[in-house]
Every structure is written in structure tokens, then in C-alpha cells.
Structure 1
Amino acid sequence: MVSEGVSVTVAMVTTQFLDVGLNTLVKSATNSGMSNYVFVVYSNLLALCFLLPSTILYHRKRAPPPIPSSILCRMFLISCLSTAVQTLVYTGIGYSSPTLASAAVDLVPAFTFILAVISRMENLNLKLHRSQAKIVGTVVSIAGALIMTLYKGVPLIRQNLALGGRGAYLSVQSDWILGGFILATASFCASVMFIVMTWVIRDYPEELVLTTICSSLVVVLSAIVALIAEGTSKAWILRSDKELIAVCYSAIFVVSMRGVVNAWAFRKKGPIYVAMFSPLGMVIAAAMGVVLLGDSLYLGSLIGAATIAIGFYAVIWAQAQEENVLHIERNDFASSSSSSPLMSTIAIDA
């Protein structure tokens, strides 16, 4: 039997593989004239076409529990945050580049960690080694991601001589500062969404229902935003195969699949665990670029990947230690509870 921790880790790594290339697809599609606002509407609408039948089939024999009004309000908040994140990310990419978007996403673990401590989802005791490991691991992972983004170094495997690394990062449009600010704001909103989603899924553990309802609300909210932002009906027409591919890819692999997997991981492991996989996407992208696309491997990428791996392992180790402690405490409580009636009987007989 595969342990629950391994299952969650494999699922999260798989979603990171699926995420690789999305930013580039969106950048290519928006360069051909597709509206960011319309893209969000279409990708969520198509995702809803997958999620709604899946939810109905899954619950055909077992109806989901009723949704309290407090949970519905939180779902609406998640939908507002999701609409903001998707709109801000794709707008930020339009002003800057997919590389800068990858760097901004690496802020998510830091924001999530701070918010989790403030909201008391994360118990932080600086005297415990596992808490120290989480802090150090988070900082180290972010540092590794920034190294991969900003530092190129000497080529270790020279294949294509295409411009990359720091040169590409610094040669983006003149609006890259505005794009960076927009992307950083999106990262903060994503971290808030992680906290709220964990809050919801632990009170209402129905991942498919949650993802479907939130996706339907995002369709409505993003459509309102798109109608206000786009004054012409021509913006709603998909004019190329690039745009259609980007919408389908986002709908199937990001909105639908990643949404359900993330909700499940939030319930099992919490927001910090999920957020820690964000820097891992850069390592996967670099490795796939070298293996599949013939990209050159630079020293900065290798150092950054190794740094991310160290920080990632530290957080995973801390998470495992916490789960072991909770497991021991539950067993002790169960054993003490089961022994209490026996002790009471002995006391009465005496």
C-alpha cells in the first residue's frame, strides 16, 4: 500500500508537470491578440463542462452533504480570489514575460507561510526543530528559485545558443516593473486563496463539489470583468489554433485537474505543503527544456535546482515529523480512553 503522504506528493508533482508550458502558451496566445479577460472566461467555462458531469456521476449514488450558508460565502470569496489571480497573472505575463511570472510565483510559499501562521493554521514553535526546518526550508526554496531565474552562470551542457537566463529576464518589455508588481499581487492573492480554501475544505470535504461551484462562480465573475474591460465583441472570437489550444489546456489541466488535486492536498496536508511545490515547477521546466527541447544547462540552473531540492526536503521532513507526533498523540489518547472504563470498573469492584 502506498502511504497517503507519497500519494499526495506524487499528485502535486504531476500537477507541476502539467503546469509547465502554460505560461508560454498564454504568452503566445495573447501576443496573437487574445484578450486575457476573455481567456479566463473561456477556460473556466470549458472546465465547468468537464467538472459538472464528473460531479454528477461521482455523486449519483451518494448525494453530497448540504452546503451551509457560511461555506457558500467562503466559496464565493474563493471564486473572487481565483478570478483576481487568473486575471492578474495573465495580465502580468502580457506586460512582462513567462520568466518573470515564474519568479513571482515563487513568492507564494513565503506569503502562504506568513498567512498560515497569522491565521493559526500553522503552529509555529521556534524551539522545535520541525518548525525551524519549515522556516529554513521555505526561505531556501525561494532563494533557489530566484537563483534559477536571475543567475545564468557558465554553460555546463551547451546545446542551443538561444538567449536565456538573466539576459532574457532583463530584455523583456519596458513595462516589466508594472508586470512584476501585478504578478506579485497575484501571488499574494493566491496565498490568501490557499488559506481560505484550506479553511473551506476541512469543514466541507467535497473536492469535486467545491471545485465545480467555484468554477461556475468564476465564470460569472470573470464574464462581468471581461464585459466591462472589453468594449468590442471581436475580443470574444478565438482567431487562431494557439488560442484554442491555450484555452483547452488551461481548462483541462489547470482549472479542472489541478483544482481538484489542490483541494484534496489542502485537506490532507495544509496550505504550506501545497505552496512549497511552486518553486519545483521551475526545476521541472528546466529539466524538460534540456531533455526534450535541447536547451543548454547553465550553472545557475543547477545551483538553483539543488537549493530548491534542499529546501523542499526540509519542509517535507518537518511535515512528516508533525504527522508522526500527531499520530502518537492520537494513539496515546485512544489507548488512555479505552483503558479508562477498565480502571473505573476495577475501582468500583475494589
Structure 2
Amino acid sequence: MWEKSVTAIMVATEFLEVGLNTVNKAAMNKGLSDFVLVFYSNVLGIFMLAPCIIIFYRKRSPPVLTWSTICKIFLLGVLSYGGQICTYIGIGYGSPTLASAMADLTPAFTFIFSIISGMEKLDLGIKSSQAKSLGTLVSITGAFVVTLYKGLPLTTSPRKYSFLHQVLGIPHSNWIIGGFFLASHSVIFAIILNVQTWIIRRYPAEMLVTLICSIIVAILSSVVSLMVEKDPNAWKIGFNMELIATVYTAAFAVAFRSVVHKWALRKKGPIYVSMFKPLEMVIALAMGIAFLGDKLYLGSLLGAAIIAIGFYAVIWGQAQEEKMVHDTRSSNKDPLLPNTTHTLVV
């Protein structure tokens, strides 16, 4: 039951991720600066996280925070700021669909960094490692099929402009620049997953780590934003799509998603969390067809099926590894035998 809960929450997180990319793109089309978005969302996220931490730790004490842990969280904050900037610049030049496509590169980079850092052990003689390795490659292959191969259209031609297209007003952009920044984010995010796992398994306080990291990001973004955004009007946000994007980003990306990722990383590890990123492409396609009037092509359907196969292969491999660890721990516990614990003297 617990395993299903982790999976369900991670899938729900990816749905919200696709919605976040769409809302942020719409706000940027209205003039919202990506640097200002990072600053405002992290500041607002701090005010959202602080009361939650006070309530959570009102009857318990948080783990002792050492200088070593603070330095690790500072590194995480620097990486998080770089990742957020790359994401929003990439979405600004590209599109939510491109962001979902580039996210498919995350499992590959995470897999490589996890092996290098020692977070994961690659033993191709074990079925669980074979399943995780093959599943990762299959998911990445499916992502490339969705991205690069169209195939025959499976649905009729939609309206030229849907209602949401008109509301969001997403124009044609420079996908080369957008793709570069979004691919850079995939690399940074893969490193972030490993660093977060490194921190959270030694300091199991997800909300507190997220709060400190957000404070660091807010400080960094305030310095950079003041240097980059010279126009005072760039800092003005009205009651419109820009405000919605800022609140959505603060509540979901800065607070909820960050805590959920750290929690899942502590339970499952970096590869497990990264394997949910290819689902973004499938979700983005489904939402595009349902709400934006996009066509469904054979390549999209085929790629989605391949991604699903790879995803379940990794999940199966992860479950087998956890079962092996549980069995090993159980076998190492020596049972107490009453006839051997005492010596009978006649």
C-alpha cells in the first residue's frame, strides 16, 4: 500500500508539472520576467513553508543541523537556482511540450551520475539491475520516438485555434535556444537528485532542507535579478496570469514538489524519481489533444506505449531490489531459541 502511495503521488506531481509549464509560458507571454519569477516564487514559497515547519515540529525537535549539512544545502541551493533559471528561460524561448520532451533526458543523466556517485550499484548479473538499466534505455527510446517520429494522424484535424490557444497566446519561438536551456536543466536536475539524496539520507528533514534551500535561492536570485532587470516595471505584478504563475510556482514547484521529491528520494533513490519525467511527455500530449486541440499521431501513441513499458520495468527492478534488501536483513536476524539460550546443569 505504501509503495502504491509513493507512485501515485509522483504521477500526480508530473500532471501538476505539465500544468505549471503551461501557466508559466502564458505568464511570460504577458511580460513576466523569468528572473523575477524565480525571486518572487521562492520568497512566497518561504512564507508557505515556514508555518508548515512550525506546526510539524511543535511537539518534536528537528535533527541537529551541522555546518557540513549547511554547506551541502548551500550547494543544493546554487544548483536549484541554476536549474530554475534554465527551466524558465527555456520555456520562454520554447514551449511546455518542448520542456516535457527535454525532461526525458533526465533518467539517462541521473543513471550516469548515480553510478559515478555510488548511489546506485550496477550489477548486470542481477535481474533487478538488468530491469532498471533496460527500462531506463527503453523509456529514453520511447521519449525520442514521441519527439522525433510523427507517423500517421490517428485523429481528425482540429480547429485551427482552440480556446486555450487564444487565451494563452503561445507564439512560435526559438526552439534551438529553448532546447539548449531545457537540456541544461535536465543535466542540472540529474545532479540535484543525487545531491538531494546525499543530503536527505543523512539529514531526514525534507521540509527544513527545502526551506533553507529556498532562502539560499531567494538571496541568489535577488542579487542576480537586480543586476539583470533594470526596468522597475519588470517587478510589477498585477492580478492576472503573472500572479497566477507566481503563486502556482511557489506553492507547487518551490514547496510541494521539492518536499515530495526529497521524500521519494529518501525512500526510493534518484533513479526512481527521475523515471517519472518521461511521463511528462505523455501527459503533455494527452492534455494538448484534450484541451488545445492537437492531433494524435501514431508516433505519439507508439512512443507513449514504449515509455510505459520502460517505466514499469524500472519500477519492477526497484521492487525486486527492495525485496532482496528486506530478505537479507531478515536472514541476518538470529532467532532466539529457548533450548540454546540456557545451559542445563545436572
Whether the TM-score (by the shorter chain) exceeds 0.5 is: yes
**Taking structure 1 as reference, are residues 240 and 32 closer, same or farther at Cα in structure 2, changes over 3 Å only?**
farther
Identical amino acids, percent of aligned pairs? 51
Question: Counterpart in 1 of 2:93?
Answer: 95
Matched, 1:251 2:253: no
Describe the superposition over 1:284-327 as per-residue Cα deviations: whole angstroms up to 9, x where unpaired.
22223334555432212111110110000000000000011001
**Taking structure 1 as reference, are residues 156 and 237 closer, same or farther at Cα in structure 2, changes over 3 Å only?**
same
Aligned residue for 2:310, secondary structure, equals helix
RMSD of aligned Cα (Å): 2.2
What are the residue-to-residue correspondences of 1:212-291 with 2, within 5 Å? 212-239=211-238, 241-291=240-290
User: How far did 1:7 drift?
Assistant: 1.2
Cα contact 1:18–1:254 (8 A) shared by 2: no
| Rounded Cα–Cα distance in structure 1 between residues aligned with 2:78 and 2:271 | 21
Structure 1 segments (4+ residues) deviating >6 Å: none
Describe the superposition over 1:96-129 as per-residue Cα deviations: whole angstroms up to 9, x where unpaired.
2222222211111100000000111101101112
Question: Counterpart in 2 of 1:168?
Answer: none
Cα contact 1:161–1:296 (8 A) shared by 2: no
Unaligned runs of 5+ in 2: 163-170
**Taking structure 1 as reference, are residues 131 and 296 closer, same or farther at Cα in structure 2, changes over 3 Å only?**
same
Aligned length: 338
| Rounded Cα–Cα distance in structure 1 between residues aligned with 2:294 and 2:160 | 8
User: How far did 1:274 drift?
Assistant: 0.3
Unaligned runs of 5+ in 1: 165-170
Aligned residue for 2:154, secondary structure, equals strand
Question: Counterpart in 2 of 1:68?
Answer: 66
| Rounded Cα–Cα distance in structure 2 between residues aligned with 1:141 and 1:134 | 10
Supply the AA of the counterpart residue of 2:9. A
Aligned residue for 1:118, secondary structure, equals helix
Question: Counterpart in 2 of 1:137?
Answer: 135
Greater mean deviation of Cα atoms: 257-266 or 282-291: 282-291
Cα contact 1:99–1:149 (8 A) shared by 2: no
What are the residue-to-residue correspondences of 1:284-303 with 2, within 5 Å? 284-303=283-302
User: How far did 1:330 drift?
Assistant: 0.5
Matched, 1:207 2:206: yes
| Rounded Cα–Cα distance in structure 1 between residues aligned with 2:306 and 2:84 | 28
**Taking structure 1 as reference, are residues 290 and 177 closer, same or farther at Cα in structure 2, changes over 3 Å only?**
closer
TM-score by length of 2: 0.91
* 1:79 aligned residue (77, 80, 84): 77
| Rounded Cα–Cα distance in structure 1 between residues aligned with 2:299 and 2:43 | 40
TM-score by length of 1: 0.90
| Rounded Cα–Cα distance in structure 1 between residues aligned with 2:210 and 2:265 | 13
| Rounded Cα–Cα distance in structure 2 between residues aligned with 1:146 and 1:36 | 28
Describe the superposition over 1:142-164 as per-residue Cα deviations: whole angstroms up to 9, x where unpaired.
12122222222222222514499
Cα contact 2:53–2:207 (8 A) shared by 1: yes
